[in-house]
Structure 1
């Protein structure tokens, strides 16, 4: 159903895909955490680097207008957007959703401390010149976050002269509050005009995709710290980056084999899962997730950055057997949500906690975020960008993307179950396998 007006804003029911993500994420609230909450960040944010003007980054960021759906309060079964009714209300919202972490060395140090919140939050970390956008996964996906951060930097650039002058308008008086509702996105089911009543063909496809979740049973895992009673702690990350030359060579080598670089990384990730499996798991299959953005297949404006703040993704599981070769595995990695909700609600307690390392690819980050905004005198250079999720389980996820012609692998994990040394070595093993199979030298 579409958004409908209320006395204080707008509301709509959560869609099945959003309900599914909430079912996965919300149990962590009892521990003051939220599973799969996806932080996105841009760092090395160099503002007006070649200008003699004394630039106040904090003032510029806090004066920028946020994307409205990022303000949606958590509601069951509805999602709610409240329109600010006064200057005080707007200031209160800004104080709760924009946070300066002056003492934090980096965004990674902030991510591990963030608790669930009613609204999306934007953090500014001066020491590392980072902007960190953090929110519940049911509100938006990884692509959404990068699109929003790109729009934010673009907005800051376009208003640079006004902001630098120090003559800032009152944010409540300067905007027609309520008109921003045109940017509120529907659920993916509504955006895609998905029928309420599924045909037999649709049911068969949906049940086939949902059925892949059974592949998780009996899959291998890697060693972890603690036992089944150990509670999760903060999310941490290990990261590796290939040089532009190595990235270009790896892409070319993968293409010559008829696969893309993501498929090549996926095959190497599977190989390392097999090599580093718990000894008792030797001979088991590896199960991994195929995640798909539905945004390119939606009609306008939902396929465009205008509808950035939304959850427009889906996924299913695939099985990789230990007997498959690297080439075979690389080639293999090329009415759903509603059924999945019922499956998740009725899943039995696993006999052993899963502890495999999975993958999620963002592809070419420049599709969502420009490296440069504005001009050298009135603009920004974004030197790095990144994505991730909060992890409360023994599993980890390797996020893969390229930005400024460099392939990045970022493995997120929970520090209660894995050590930095273990995860760094795991990621180095993936990189080594990838370069060896593609015959790329460092």
Structure 2
């Protein structure tokens, strides 16, 4: 799609592209309950010297400057289209007022997250008591790594301000040059449907909806009519030594840490599954930025897709964990090769069109899925630096607001420490259930890899 400008009003509009339509539709699924599914939030605890201005004011100035680099932060939905207003002194101030504030009451940023639903625009909150910065954004606008890139640039600007530097005044009339393209436009995906793209879209449909069904899943609370409650999160972080040992153990066995955690999660689900399914299917997020032309504007955009992987239960009497090594190697190979990246990206528009149609056609005809989505962010330090001179990022957390029965398992390292974090909804899972899931994953990894998986603190 292409941004077009109304010369009289200075308003730019663009249609939602395929991936954006899917993510936007998912985000609005619980609108009647004043809930938003899938929104991304990132929390960083920072340290920095006291400047001549309160840190909240410095953040406000940095946030205003950041929008010039990433004007997609100002884009909103109007009339079913993405809408962008050319900057004026008045609307810049209005945008800053609507999207940034200091919270002096909350003890921690996680207390603020459950209240951030269905916002017209992304927001930035400085929680003064914990010295935490919370960035929140709808998933149709951004993905997890993009959120990290946005904060990296924000902290770089903030570091200049607290050091007393004078920021260069942006040429605001050029801000629109930095508007992010959709995933399909960024890649250059053809708009014309060909036999090849149609065949690829049907192949992906079969993979997602036929091969992947039925699937083992977590036992959830309530039934098909149970409405979502509050989003929750549980996290376990391992120290550097444990993390290094785990990474070495995986490497020596020929598979990735992500694959090992995914396999351990599958073993846990199979162990608790009451339905006796032979297959366990789950979506794994794939960062598509390596396949796109390099440009800094790609921080604000949903440049990610999900590829479904299916594992088969062992029936040889040796238990489920005896499949751990096989699963881990299968997944490592599958992550890299079996979805055929070029053919998939060439067919993106058709893939998402067919996906959307299939989702609508199956609505209510199958039991709600309760498998665990896997999202591996890799080394966060590659996207969000810890050291910004006078501003230091001491701690990092990322998650998404889950309104459905499929928890999301995030995997990342930051400062050399591995973190496993599960976002879920309290209407469907208890704190104990998710705690048991994380404990089971830790136990499986420890047993299969010979590493003491004791967490920090």
Tell me if both proteins adopt one fold, taking TM over 0.5 as the criterion.
yes
1:72 aligns to 2:75 (yes or no):
yes
In the alignment, the residues of structure 2 paired with residue 244 and residue 130 of structure 1 have an alpha-carbon distance, to the nearest angstrom, of 23
Q: Unaligned regions of 5+ residues in structure 1, if any?
A: none
1:347 alignment partner in structure 2: 362
Q: Does the 8 Å contact 2:405/2:424 carry over to 1?
A: yes
In the alignment, the residues of structure 2 paired with residue 255 and residue 216 of structure 1 have an alpha-carbon distance, to the nearest angstrom, of 28
2:298 alignment partner in structure 1: 307
In the alignment, the residues of structure 2 paired with residue 17 and residue 274 of structure 1 have an alpha-carbon distance, to the nearest angstrom, of 31
Cα distance, 1:175 vs structure 2: 4.1
In the alignment, the residues of structure 1 paired with residue 158 and residue 263 of structure 2 have an alpha-carbon distance, to the nearest angstrom, of 41
What SS class does the counterpart of residue 39 from structure 1 fall into? strand
Kindly provide the CA deviation profile for residues 250-298 of structure 1, in whole angstroms up to 9, marking residues without a partner as x: 0000001101111111110111111122x2x134421111221111111
Cα distance, 1:76 vs structure 2: 5.0
Q: Which range is displaced more, 379-388 or 138-147?
A: 379-388
Superposition pairs of residues 28-107 of structure 1, within 5 angstroms: 28-43=30-45, 45-48=46-49, 56-64=54-62, 65=65, 66=67, 67-87=70-90, 89-107=91-109
Kindly provide the CA deviation profile for residues 221-262 of structure 1, in whole angstroms up to 9, marking residues without a partner as x: 222222222211111100000110000000000001101111
2:12 corresponds, among 10, 13, 26, to: 10
Q: Unaligned regions of 5+ residues in structure 2, if any?
A: 315-319, 336-346
In the alignment, the residues of structure 2 paired with residue 189 and residue 53 of structure 1 have an alpha-carbon distance, to the nearest angstrom, of 43
Q: Does the 8 Å contact 1:210/1:316 carry over to 2?
A: no
Q: Does the 8 Å contact 1:23/1:344 carry over to 2?
A: no
2:136 alignment partner in structure 1: 134
In the alignment, the residues of structure 2 paired with residue 56 and residue 239 of structure 1 have an alpha-carbon distance, to the nearest angstrom, of 32
Cα distance, 1:4 vs structure 2: 2.0
1:223 alignment partner in structure 2: 219
Q: Does the 8 Å contact 1:9/1:178 carry over to 2?
A: no
What SS class does the counterpart of residue 27 from structure 1 fall into? coil
What SS class does the counterpart of residue 410 from structure 1 fall into? strand
1:391 corresponds, among 381, 392, 402, to: 402
Residue-pair matches, total: 421
Q: Which range is displaced more, 259-268 or 329-338?
A: 329-338
2:379 alignment partner in structure 1: 364
Cα distance, 1:71 vs structure 2: 1.3
Q: Does the 8 Å contact 1:108/1:236 carry over to 2?
A: no
Superposition pairs of residues 247-258 of structure 1, within 5 angstroms: 247-258=243-254
Q: Does the 8 Å contact 1:392/1:414 carry over to 2?
A: yes
Cα distance, 1:415 vs structure 2: 1.3
In the alignment, the residues of structure 2 paired with residue 198 and residue 292 of structure 1 have an alpha-carbon distance, to the nearest angstrom, of 24
Q: Does the 8 Å contact 1:228/1:352 carry over to 2?
A: yes
What SS class does the counterpart of residue 368 from structure 2 fall into? coil
What SS class does the counterpart of residue 416 from structure 1 fall into? coil
Q: Does the 8 Å contact 1:183/1:307 carry over to 2?
A: no
Superposition pairs of residues 74-223 of structure 1, within 5 angstroms: 74-87=77-90, 89-162=91-164, 174-214=169-209, 215-223=211-219
In the alignment, the residues of structure 2 paired with residue 182 and residue 139 of structure 1 have an alpha-carbon distance, to the nearest angstrom, of 17
Q: Which range is displaced more, 115-124 or 198-207?
A: 198-207
What SS class does the counterpart of residue 123 from structure 1 fall into? strand
In the alignment, the residues of structure 2 paired with residue 261 and residue 246 of structure 1 have an alpha-carbon distance, to the nearest angstrom, of 13
Superposition pairs of residues 371-386 of structure 1, within 5 angstroms: 371-374=386-389, 379-386=390-397
In the alignment, the residues of structure 2 paired with residue 261 and residue 366 of structure 1 have an alpha-carbon distance, to the nearest angstrom, of 17
TM-score, L = length of structure 1:
0.90
2:283 corresponds, among 285, 289, 302, to: 289
What SS class does the counterpart of residue 42 from structure 1 fall into? strand
